[in-house]
Every structure is written in structure tokens, then in C-alpha cells.
Amino acid sequence: MQLKYYANDDDRSWWKAFECEAMALDRKDPLVEQLNHFCRVIRKEEKPLVSVKDGLQNLRVTEAVVEAVKSGQTVHPSHRDVY
């Protein structure tokens, strides 16, 4: 994989070239990796990468998308606090 980036934040410009670096790409099934991480969290070997609050908001957005597709209307996800 080719990684392109600016060496310094001050270099961010249409007129400055990117730095380029070749990186090895480890092709893994993302769903398998997610399940493996979940199992490690359950066994208390790792901490979750996503908070409960962020996970719930993601679910709300997903449900709003499904509802919007079914109804053909704009649907706004709920923003109630978890805590």
C-alpha cells in the first residue's frame, strides 16, 4: 500500500508534494477481526475500542437509516444521553 502524507502540518497545501512511503498491507477479514476483538473484550484481555455511548449512537443512526429507507422520509436519530 502506498501511504501519502505531509511531513509537517505547515506543509498542507495544494502546491507542496506529499511524502510517500510503501507499507505492507496485512489483508484480514474485518468481521473476523471484529469478532476476535469482541471475544478478547469478553475475556477481559482488551478494552473495547468503542464506548457504550458511541456504540448506542451508531445503533441509533443505523436504525434511522433503515427507517428512512422504508418511509422515504428524512429521519433524525435520537440524541438522548445514555447516562
* pLDDT tens, position by position, 46-82: 999 999 889 899 999 999 999 999 999 999 887 765 5
Can you give the pLDDT at residue 80?
64
Alpha carbons 59 and 77: distance in angstroms, whole number:
9
Is pLDDT at 5 greater than 80 in this prediction?
A: yes
Can you give the pLDDT at residue 25?
86
Q: Write the CA distances from 49 to 18, 22, 53, 72, integer angstroms.
A: 30, 27, 12, 33
Place of cell 507499507: 23
Can you give the pLDDT at residue 7?
87
Strands 2-5 and 19-22, how do they pair?
Answer: antiparallel
pTM of the model: 0.52
